[in-house]
Amino acid sequence: MNPIPEAYKSYIRQDLAALLPDGEVDTLISALETTEPSVAIRLNPLKTGSTGASGIAAMQMADCQVAWCPQGWHLSERPDFTHDPAMHQGRYYVQDASSMIISHIVGHLSRKINASGPDGSAGGAPLRYLDACAAPGGKTTAAIAMLPARSLIVANEYDFRRAEILKENVIKWGAPRLVVSRGDTARFSALEDFFHIIAVDAPCSGEGMMRKDATARDQWQPALVDQCAARQREILTNLWPALAPGGYLIYSTCTFNRTENEQMLRWLSDTYHAETMEIPLPAGCEAIRVGERGSMRFFPHLVRGEGLFIAVVRKPGPAYPAVAALAAPRQKQARRQDGRTQPEMPEFPLLSRHLNIILPEVNGEPEKPSKFVKAKPQKAAKSECAPTQAQALSVDLAPDAYPRIEVDLAMALAYLRRESLPHLEAPRGYVLLTYGGYPLGFVNNLPNRANNLYPLPWRILK
């Protein structure tokens, strides 16, 4: 039983009366109080490939796909995710099923932008995507696979601790050309007309989480709704200049009230002449309520997921410009210590000037080239830097970059606990451990032991 505050019950009955039929608000309240939260995972298509979910322990509890996300699976119960190495490898992400709708929306918008582009490269031209309130990373990782190859993804988080969680999760996902930044969204206003798509999963009063989060129930009060709405308007004001003409802004909250949802769309329309968009839904999604201005609402008494509001608006302007026209000035490429040039990413210097970037390693564009050095297949030179966990889990890591050795479940968990490991029957120097055929992380194999290089803050403590 999850007792909902009586003040909230009275508030939401009045607020949603125009949206839900008679009596259905009480059905919603009952679902929040008496039913269990749903559990779902989303597979990483960058890492599962044609083998699907083979070797993922959590998939033993899977009972059906999420209707609006082919990579999403509902689970019949919550397994022990902590002790499933596949989760730490980034082969799947634990995410509420409702939130997975972002993958469908991003895929639709990507196709729409490319189809209207003057370069005629339908489905192929890379895009610039910003997730402005990205922690813990579920919506960011869901969007990645739906963007064209070589698209640039920027994931931003204001709170330092949440930014560290975001950093960990996107490293595990392993996608290239992904930058994590930390700071206020006001920084993005300097990147005028830069992004094709901006996603704003806005900080909100959290009413949609009341079934699973006691804090959401205990902290609710009408003043919180007003405070959140003011903060949402501030965030949207900061980000609007960074959206290119003809670009799309995806706005979402995990709350029910109209102040933070429909009224926010009206404010965008009145203030910036934002054009609301309707996103067609795939078959089998009849339980999703499509409402005012094309918005979608997920109610826990109707769908197998938590509460969510999501909508898309378009920035007025001419047909979307060619991607090349938005390119940042090309910079002279830095050379690594091994003589190879850094991967091309002309936008990176521009981002570095305006944003507090905390994760340059994932996209292969470190702040200092000396931080990113490829280890030799045999014994490492004394001057070599240890390879990073970002390299280990990146899908761009060459198969022959390091010696590899497959480990069993017990060894994998010992590694994830950052325990001491014995010497491995493998070449001396940096060795990549794999589990189930996928990278797990690096060790430095010495004559009498293997130094565990798993990041200390990430270690399993349970």
Longest C-alpha distance within the chain, in Å? 73
Q: What is the DSSP string of 131-199?
A: ETT-TT-HHHHHHHTTSPTT-EEEEEESSHHHHHHHHHHHHHHT-SSEEEEES-GGGGGGSTT-EEEEE
Cα(442)–Cα(10) distance, rounded to whole angstroms? 55
Length of the chain: 462
Q: Return the DSSP state at 240.
A: G
Q: What does the block give as tokens for 96?
A: 């509420």
CA-CA-CA-CA torsion for 266, 268, 271, 277, nearest 10 degrees?
A: -90
> In 3D, which of 181, 93, 192, 109 has the Cα closest to residue 151?
109
Name the nearest CA neighbour of 331 among 356, 358, 351. Answer: 351
Task: Verify cis geometry, omega within 30 degrees of 0, for the bond prior to 85.
Answer: no
Q: Is residue 254 annotated as part of the catalytic site, yes or no?
A: yes
Q: Tell me which of 133, 204, 228, 254 is the catalytic residue.
A: 254
Q: Which two tokens stand for residue 357?
A: 């970037």
Catalytic residue positions, numbered: 254
